[in-house]
Amino acid sequence: MAKEPVRILVTGAAGQIGYALVPMIARGVVLGPDQPVILHMLDIPPAAEALNGVKMELVDAAFPLLKGVIATTDVVEACTGVNIAIMVGGFPRKEGMERKDVMSKNVSIYKSQASALEKHAAANCKVLVVANPANTNALILKECAPSIPEKNISCLTRLDHNRALGQISERLNVPVCDVKNVIIWGNHSSTQYPDVSHATVKTPSGEKPVPELVADDAWLKGEFITTVQQRGAAIIKARKLSSALSAASSACDHIRDWVLGTPEGTWVSMGVYSDGSYNVPAGLIYSFPVTCRNGEWKIVQGLSIDEFSRKKLDLTAEELSEEKTLAYSCLT
Ligand SMILES: NC(=O)c1ccc[n+]([C@@H]2O[C@H](COP(=O)([O-])OP(=O)(O)OC[C@H]3O[C@@H](n4cnc5c(N)ncnc54)[C@H](O)[C@@H]3O)[C@@H](O)[C@H]2O)c1
Ligand SMILES: O=C(O)C[C@H](O)C(=O)O
């Protein structure tokens, strides 16, 4: 029997990540080749015409799995009945703006979208925040939608995770699919800590630790980390636009693994509500290694954290605490 369609909301759908993301969803990249979807696309009135153009293209592409498209500037219509919400829309920093000004704009957007989701989304709707500052936008959404369980709210650090896999794959000249269990700790910002202490590579003689194969501690603790931390800025410098295809693809990976589960023996990085694991302050949206089963994530426990890593985990937590204070000051 054919499956019921799943309703997926993409906010900021007329933007560049939206344009890369919606065809991936419509093609079954997120939920599989037998799962019909209905796309809900939200943007703001100045982008309404462009949004309608995206809808026209979705119709023109005749995706067999796509059972409907709603393109709207009305947040209630956009949120009604959605099972998954991918929040890409937000206010970008403009010339002459202070950090606080950008935060204040995004706090007000995420506050109103949180209440629309709380009132109108399907029960158990899963939310992924992509728009920057992603961790703190997700935290505001959580604060302003108290009836959405915290286990259903996350932010995207899978792009950073995939970037780390890509760097190791290039360095060792191995297929990226043979590298696993890197970790992104903390904020989706340049204080994030890409950690390969527990990462492995599949070799003909079994799985081998990444640090042993790379055999260059200075590179792993230096250039590797800064390359991943600064990759977003490097893409902006090269493209004069921020990452879009890799962000969209990683958002698909995030939702797919969350809903369908992570492979046995593999973890991924997700920004989730901290419960105090690894002595990360509770109450931050912080990126942790997680495994997913039956639609729920669980923080991987018991990994050893050496002194070098401890400092990096704390540094990015401090930045998130400062962002949280700033965001809360905009709320009141
Ligand atoms: N977490 C990550 O890994 C990651 C990676 C790349 C980009 N990003 C962030 O994702 C966001 C989107 O990037 P982009 O390149 O698609 O930007 P973009 O400017 O091309 O698109 C953003 C879209 O959001 C819309 N928008 C603005 N306010 C809105 C609102 N209140 N409701 C709905 N839509 C609204 C805009 O009209 C625009 O169409 C940015 O904040 C960017 O910094 C995050
Ligand atoms: O938009 C940015 O500042 C960069 C983006 O978050 C990215 O990681 O590519």
From first to last of its 332 residues, the chain has per-residue pLDDT tens of 789 999 999 999 999 999 999 999 999 999 999 999 999 999 999 999 999 999 999 999 999 999 999 999 999 999 999 999 999 999 877 777 777 788 899 999 999 999 999 999 999 999 999 999 999 999 999 999 999 999 999 999 999 999 999 999 999 999 999 999 999 999 999 999 999 999 999 999 999 999 999 999 999 999 999 999 999 999 999 999 999 999 999 999 999 999 999 999 999 999 999 999 999 999 999 999 999 999 999 999 999 999 999 999 999 999 999 999 999 999 87
Nearest-ligand number for the alpha carbon of 287: 1
Give the pLDDT confidence of 117-171 residue by residue, as tens digits: 999 999 999 999 999 999 999 999 999 999 999 999 999 999 999 999 999 999 9
Ligand 2 midpoint to CA 14 (Å): 18
Where in the chain is CATH 3.40.50.720?
6-155
Q: What's domain 157-328's architecture?
A: Alpha-Beta Complex (3.90)
Atom 18, ligand 1: which residue's CA is nearest?
15
Where in the chain is CATH 3.90.110.10?
157-328
Residue to substitute in 21, 24, 44 for testing ligand 1 pocket (most ligand atoms within 8 angstroms of CB): 44
For this structure, is 161 an active site residue?
no
Name the class of domain 6-155.
alpha beta
pTM (2 d.p.): 0.98
- Which atom of ligand 2 is found nearest the CA of 235? 9
The residue annotated as part of the active site, out of 120, 188, 198, 254, is: 188
Secondary structure (DSSP) of 101-166: HHHHHHHHHHHHHHHHHHHHSPTT-EEEE-SSSHHHHHHHHHHH-TTS-GGGEEE--HHHHHHHHH
Ligand 1 midpoint to CA 153 (Å): 18
CA distance 250 to 256: 10
Tell which residue, 55, 62, 65, has the closest CA to residue 10. Answer: 55
106 among annotated binding-site residues: yes
